[in-house]
């Protein structure tokens, strides 16, 4: 055991955050701390690193072990360049190298006895230099910088000139290079693109120390962690396994807790009824028996009602009207900002019912495409066309669709003037805004709260084509799962940009990967994308394509195969819907016949009975065929 938290209790005023929290971390263990927003995850990390003192309890760190901590927000001030800032982490190695070089110069002029002593020191220092990876520290720094998404041309940028997200990445790089025995990371993936997150996953999996992570990235947690520490209403429970294991075990535990609570409530009601009945007899013996039962009831350890996971947000997304089959057609789309060309000659289309994820590294132009489609930016070249009866609902990650000076109530009522006060309040309540919350200014809300307001507006829009830019940013895991369910039930069409691989895996029916200024089409979810990524990614340069024309033609063939597969999938989905509709129609008629056969005017008429029985028999045979067809289509 390298770290233990024992009976940690912490409160902010009357709000209890942690109640006697206890858990431990083993050597090299990778653990996640999970819980809804405000559960106390960041508070627990701060207590572990002694930035906060608990009201009671203690944190025990194994003797001689070191902690490294990355907070969510970094205010890194430095006039050094990015490379120099990371180089400072290796200051002890640099000083050690200087001593070795100085000793080498001195040894040239030493006599035999002094030389012997110097050689011993030289051997010891070299061994220490090797142990600290001294011969490779520069390449280690470059590897970390590139892994975290910094191109070489950025290495010489001053830290003071960087954005908040870039400063966080620099701080993360410094932490990883310092090699503490336990790394504590608070939302480390927030400012990383997909390739950087994948690099960090590999780094942490191979890290020879322990790691504690607070993150809402479930795909990341599934790959990295082997233990999940959950904070739920101040209680801390540990689960072995990754996030999916935890989610499964948690569901089973909650079901068992709910059953136990319901059974106890049933027993309490039963005892109360017995006590009331005994007292009503108004006899000495019966009153004594009632009092005896009351004492036992008072001593009962009453269970708390388990929290309802799904009761937090209630999202129902439903289009007002059905669009045509062709929802969006994009032809020859290009966009540059000065000398920076984001994308060139993009061509793609989206059909009704598809949920398309647009992915790619930071800065490739994904948000720009969404802004062009929403008329917020003009393309340099090309055009796009919306299909018949298409009505767009737009979710902007920067929440430019919100008015900072308005209250929540005004934001909804001004956008939808036909709604009455009750409907507006009910909608906001569905997104956790109740009471006087509705009179808060948008500008005073946190990023997560603004996200919920944007989702509330989106829900009311009754659009049939949702365009979403990073919809899961600032949402906790439970809220993400609720949004996923809403999108999967949604009968309209969705195009979204997201870095949340778990979200993509759960909701996407197709992926468009924006890479090398072009789009590569993958008909499937994120797991399918990973499987096919290498073989479908186009050559990284025109020289490679020219040198290998066979690869180019193979790429075209792959694209054609993808389009054919897409058409096959659409046909199968249409056939599935038709089959389900016919099954529903026949089952309804079958029930109607059963009801008719119970009526006297029917069962007393032989001819009518025979007619209905023949129809029922025909329906049964047809349903057998349809059930088989449905099973085949649903595979």
Model confidence pLDDT, tens digit, residues 43-91: 999 999 999 999 999 999 999 999 999 987 767 888 899 999 999 999 9
Task: Name the domain count of the chain.
Answer: 5
What are the structure tokens assigned to 394, written together? Answer: 């737009």
**Domain check: are 418 and 386 in the same one?**
no
Instruction: Answer whether residue 533 is part of any domain.
Output: no
Give the domain-ending residue among 307, 329, 350.
Answer: 307
Instruction: Answer whether residue 2 is part of any domain.
Output: no
477 is in which domain, residue-wise?
313-391+463-523
**Domain check: are 320 and 434 in the same one?**
no
Task: Indicate the SS3 state at residue 515.
Answer: strand
What is residue 523's DSSP assignment?
A: S
**Domain check: are 228 and 288 in the same one?**
no
Strand locations in 241-322, DSSP E? none
pLDDT computed for residue 542 by the predictor: 42
Surface-to-core class of residue 65, CB atoms within 10 Å of its CB (0-12 exposed, 13-18 middle, 19+ buried): middle
- Convert 559-608 into a string of H (helix), E (strand) and C (coil): HHHHHHHHHHHHHHHHHHHHHHHHHHHHHHHHHHHHHHCCCHHHHCCHHH
**Domain check: are 420 and 453 in the same one?**
yes
Instruction: Answer whether residue 146 is part of any domain.
Output: yes
**Distance of CA 487 to CAs 38, 110, 221, 392, 620, Å?**
25, 77, 23, 15, 35
**Domain check: are 76 and 159 in the same one?**
yes
pLDDT computed for residue 549 by the predictor: 47
Instruction: Answer whether residue 7 is part of any domain.
Output: no
Whole-prediction pTM: 0.68
Quick check: 392 and 386 in contact, CB under 8 A? yes
pLDDT digits (tens, 9 = 90+) for 186-209: 989 888 888 889 899 999 999 999
pLDDT computed for residue 115 by the predictor: 83
Instruction: Answer whether residue 170 is part of any domain.
Output: yes
Give the domain-ending residue among 461, 484, 514.
Answer: 461
pLDDT computed for residue 563 by the predictor: 62
**Domain check: are 500 and 412 in the same one?**
no
Surface-to-core class of residue 423, CB atoms within 10 Å of its CB (0-12 exposed, 13-18 middle, 19+ buried): middle
Nearest alpha carbon to residue 182 among 425, 2, 331: 2
**Domain check: are 425 and 285 in the same one?**
no
**Domain check: are 80 and 226 in the same one?**
yes
Instruction: Answer whether residue 539 is part of any domain.
Output: no
**Domain check: are 412 and 378 in the same one?**
no
Quick check: 129 and 99 in contact, CB under 8 A? no
**Domain check: are 367 and 418 in the same one?**
no
Instruction: Answer whether residue 320 is part of any domain.
Output: yes
Instruction: Answer whether residue 230 is part of any domain.
Output: yes
Q: What's the length of the chain?
A: 635
pLDDT computed for residue 306 by the predictor: 76
Low-confidence spans in the chain with pLDDT less than 70: 74, 307-314, 398-400, 534-564, 566, 627-628, 630-632, 634-635
CATH number, position 474: 3.40.50.300
Give the domain-ending residue among 196, 214, 246.
Answer: 246
pLDDT computed for residue 545 by the predictor: 43
pLDDT computed for residue 536 by the predictor: 58
Quick check: 486 and 478 in contact, CB under 8 A? no
**Domain check: are 362 and 322 in the same one?**
yes
**Distance of CA 42 to CAs 33, 46, 168, 175, 214, Å?**
9, 6, 16, 18, 7
**Domain check: are 166 and 266 in the same one?**
no
């Amino acid at each position: 055991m390298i770290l233990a938290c024992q009976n940690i209790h912490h409160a902010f005023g009357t709000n209890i955050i942690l109640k006697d929290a206890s858990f431990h971390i083993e050597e090299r263990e990778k653990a996640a701390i999970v819980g809804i927003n405000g559960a106390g995850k960041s508070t627990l990390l701060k207590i572990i690193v002694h930035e906060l003192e608990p009201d009671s309890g203690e944190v025990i760190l194994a003797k001689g072990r070191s902690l490294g901590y990355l907070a969510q927000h970094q205010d890194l001030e430095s006039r050094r360049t990015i490379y120099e800032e990371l180089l400072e982490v290796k200051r002890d190695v640099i000083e050690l190298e200087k001593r070795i070089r100085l000793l080498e110069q001195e040894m040239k002029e030493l006599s035999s006895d002094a030389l012997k002593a110097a050689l011993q020191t030289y051997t010891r220092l070299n061994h220490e230099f090797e142990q600290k990876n001294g011969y490779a520290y520069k390449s280690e720094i470059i590897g970390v910088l590139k892994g975290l998404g910094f191109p070489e041309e950025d290495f010489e940028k001053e830290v003071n000139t960087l954005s908040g997200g870039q400063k966080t990445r620099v701080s993360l790089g410094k932490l990883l290079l310092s090699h503490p025995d336990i790394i504590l990371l608070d939302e480390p993936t927030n400012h990383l693109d997909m390739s950087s997150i994948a690099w960090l996953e590999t780094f942490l999996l191979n890290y020879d120390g322990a790691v504690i992570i607070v993150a809402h990235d479930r795909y990341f947690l599934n790959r990295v962690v082997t233990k999940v520490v959950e904070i739920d209403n101040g209680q801390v429970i540990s689960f072995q396994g990754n996030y999916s294991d935890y989610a499964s075990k948690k569901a089973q535990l909650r079901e068992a807790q709910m059953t136990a609570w319901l059974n106890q409530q049933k027993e309490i009601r039963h005892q109360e009824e017995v006590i009331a009945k005994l007292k009503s007899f108004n006899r000495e013996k019966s009153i004594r028996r009632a009092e005896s039962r009351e004492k036992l009831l008072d001593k009962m350890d009453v269970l708390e009602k388990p929290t309802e996971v799904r009761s937090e947000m209630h999202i129902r997304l439903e289009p007002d009207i059905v669009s045509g089959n062709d929802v969006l057609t994009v032809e020859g789309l290009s966009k540059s900002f000065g000398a920076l060309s984001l994308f060139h000659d993009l061509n793609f289309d989206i059909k009704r019912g598809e949920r398309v994820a647009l992915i790619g590294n930071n800065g490739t132009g994904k948000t720009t495409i969404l802004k062009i489609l929403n008329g917020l930016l003009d393309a340099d070249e090309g055009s796009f066309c919306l299909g018949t009866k298409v009505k767009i609902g737009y979710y902007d990650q920067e929440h430019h669709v919100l008015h900072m000076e308005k209250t929540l109530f005004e934001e909804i009522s001004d956008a939808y003037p036909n709604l009455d006060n009750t409907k507006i309040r009910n909608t906001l309540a569905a997104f956790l805004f109740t009471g006087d919350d509705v009179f808060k200014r948008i500008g005073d809300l946190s990023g997560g709260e603004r996200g919920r307001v944007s989702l509330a507006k989106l829900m009311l829009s009754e659009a049939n084509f949702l365009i979403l830019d990073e919809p899961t940013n600032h949402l906790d895991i439970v809220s993400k799962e609720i949004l996923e369910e809403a999108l999967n039930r949604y009968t309209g069409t969705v195009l979204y940009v997201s870095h949340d691989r778990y979200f993509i895996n759960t909701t996407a029916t197709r992926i468009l990967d924006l890479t090398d200024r072009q789009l590569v089409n993958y008909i499937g979810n994120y797991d399918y994308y990973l499987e096919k990524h290498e073989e479908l990614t186009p050559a990284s340069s025109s020289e490679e394509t020219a040198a290998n024309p066979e690869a180019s033609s193979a790429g075209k063939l792959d694209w054609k195969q993808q389009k054919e597969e897409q058409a096959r999938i659409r046909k199968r989905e249409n056939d599935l819907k038709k089959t389900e509709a016919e099954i529903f129609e026949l089952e309804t008629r079958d029930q109607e016949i059963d009801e008719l056969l119970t009526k006297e005017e029917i069962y007393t008429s032989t001819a009518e009975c025979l007619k209905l029985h023949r129809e029922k028999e025909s329906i049964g045979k047809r349903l057998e065929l349809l059930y088989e067809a449905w099973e085949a289509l649903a595979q």
